[in-house]
Chains A and B, each alone.
Chain A
Amino acid sequence: MSLAQIIANLPALVVAIPLLLSPVAAMIPVAGLAWMLAVIGSGAAFLCALLLQGAVTGGESFSYFLGSWPPPWGIEFVVDAPSAFTVLVMSGLAFVTTLFARTALLAEIAEADAGKAYAAWLLACGGLSGLVMTGDVFNLFVFLEISALSSVILIALGAGRDRRALIAGYNYLVIGAVGATLYVIGVGFIYAVTGSLNMADLAGRIPEVPQTTVVMVGFGFMMAGILVKAAIFPVHVWLPAAYAFAPSAVSSLLAAIATKAALYVMARIIFDIFAGMPDMTGFALQFVLVPLALGGIFVGTILAIYENDIKKLLAFSSVAQIGYIALAFGVSTTAGIAAGFIHIGNHAMIKGGLFVAVSAYAVLLGRRINLTQMTGLGRRMPITTTAFLICGLSLVGLPLTAGFISKLYLVRALLEAEMIIILGLVLASSALSVAYLWKIVEVLWKPAADHAPVREAPALYLPLWILAIGNLWFGVAPAPLVDAAMRAAMQLTGGM
């Protein structure tokens, strides 16, 4: 097979490889082998995503027709700057978290369940990638449910350690299913007036539809469903419990990639499918998304300040960070959308790193951890804690870290759009986020009462430091990330 042929099939492979390896992993009784398979699956997907990113750097885009049926009749997978960027971020983080999953996952679930756990893990990775690649609105619903159901299984696996994981999984299942069904209702309305399900085809047909009310209702339902999946305030309620009670390895995977796919889909819906109705989307962004994003930023940050369970604290912080991404999209200029994509990439690295570090603590402490149990861990586990700190500073947005670049571009976009009040609120919330980080840091370096010997977990060093160095690297040399995000944003706004 020639290189061109391989590249032509990459869009399908990036999704198909994890999905196909998943049932194989389920049948393997040996935990180590199943893990190897998961590493191979996510690694191959990452490689495909890298090649795809390389293929779109020139600004071109191409698509893959599933079963060779041409769109708009068949389902197509679209590779353009936004989808290639998002799938690269997600598969990269999925690969790194899979690398460390072996130690962390086995610490929390029975060895006999490991094969099935990796099967659900691969399904989640494949489903989330599919969500990003697909160019068909109904196919998107199917991937939404594949990733949601497999995430529920992964979250509920935490029951071996804390039975409340079952409740968290159940609640995510019900809330997620309602969200996905709302999305399908929206698709139904749009299909009824356009007769099409293909995104590119829809973008052309929607402006010509005379029944604008139906289009508005459809848009509203689709957005409502995606807001649930992206955990935008106030429909974020499933997220904190899900992240807190899931096994730590699962928390890292979900925190790094799960909501990112939904945020990407949100951008697609607003700036691509409904680009032809700028009045409607503009109204939705200005009066719905931006206020909700600001609400999420403040509620998430304040709840994080008062939270004592470290995983729940990070989950609340995720709610706030998702708010920043949604806010950036809400600015809706090219600079704003680019800032959103930059933060999708950076936040995946930041939260992935923080949760991996927490997993390292959890492997040693052997339970869910609240802050008092972490007292003095900084002195006893300096290597892990340093990486944790780097990611934490990046979360706050200290210069020379990736988080600073995110904030910089967000602030610049807000200035450009002359949204000064919102800019002030963003800066205030950043200052608040220092409070909860400081709370953790203080505990970590406080002298511990008991000096029980705590071994470091060297197996987790590699993925942890990949993410920590990633945070520094993209803080000092952000050009590749920023360029890719800019291209993505320009491609989305180009059609407007």
Chain B
Amino acid sequence: MIGPVAQILESWNYLVVIALMMGGLFIVISQNNLVKKLVGLAIFQTSVFIFYISVGKMAGGTAPILTDGPETLYSNPLPHVLILTAIVVGVATTALGLALVLRIHAAFGSIEDDEVLAMKAEAAEPRARRGGDMGDAV
């Protein structure tokens, strides 16, 4: 017999995933700082990685290696492999995002979304002339 508490305990991995996912997405939406947005994005993506990996895990299962025992219980390796790929994609996304933030800082002198948006209104100047005020905002 599974009570509600036991049910929650049994699926705690999903609860962790949901908490991380919503937290990450909230940071992406609510944060004003462009770097913090990327942090939120990374958390959001990581929650999905955990989701895949925990789905593939069998309680008491081992690594999927062929043995003599006919009834070895093993975890499904495919989700793990998929997530390796997804991690690579995530790293590339974060790296490109951070590189863009660097360029935004060099061009605008700020990495706060609202300040940068306020500056949009003025005429765009070439990047080189504004290189001097780097370091103010960080």
Contacts and interface: CB of A to CB of B under 8 A. Distances in A.
A145 B93 contact: yes
Interface stretch (A178-186, A261-269, A412-420): A178-186
Residue from A149, A159, A162, A177 with most neighbouring chain B CB atoms (10 Å): A177
Contact of A159 (B52, B82, B85, B127): B127
A121 to B, nearest CB: 16
B99 to A, nearest CB: 9
Given A149-B93, A174-B41, A156 B103 contact: yes
Q: B-side binding surface: helix, strand, loop or mixed?
A: helix
Given A174-B38, A178-B41, A163 B100 contact: no
A177 B37 CA distance: 12
A23 interface: no
B79 interface: yes
A184 B86 contact: yes
Contacts of B25: 178
Size class of the A contact interface (CB-based, 8 Å): 20 to 34
B28 A178 contact: yes
Given A178-B44, A188-B48, A163 B96 contact: no
A445 interface: no
A145 B120 contact: no
A178 B79 CA distance: 20
Contacts of B51: 185, 188
B104 A166 contact: yes
Nearest to A192: B55
B57 to A, nearest CB: 12
Interface string A134-173: 0000100110010001001100100111111011011001
B125 interface: yes
A191 interface: yes
Contact of B125 (A142, A163, A174, A192): A163
A161 B38 CA distance: 26
B92 interface: yes
B127 to A, nearest CB: 6
Contacts, number: 81
Nearest to B104: A166
Residue from A138, A153, A167 with most neighbouring chain B CB atoms (10 Å): A167
Given A177-B45, A178-B28, A166 B103 contact: yes
A141 B89 CA distance: 10
A337 to B, nearest CB: 30
A251 B36 CA distance: 29
A169 B21 CA distance: 24
A173 B92 contact: no
A197 B103 CA distance: 38
Given A174-B38, A188-B55, A163 B97 contact: no
B55 A156 contact: no
B100 A169 contact: yes
B104 A167 contact: yes
Given A159-B107, A166-B104, A170-B100, A185 B92 contact: no
Interface string B104-125: 1001100000001100100011
Interface in A237-272: none
Contacts of A169: 100
A173 B44 contact: no
7 contacts: A142-B89, A149-B93, A160-B126, A164-B124, A167-B104, A174-B97, A188-B48
Given A159-B107, A191-B55, A191-B79, 6 more contacts: A141-B86, A160-B127, A163-B107, A163-B127, A169-B100, A181-B48
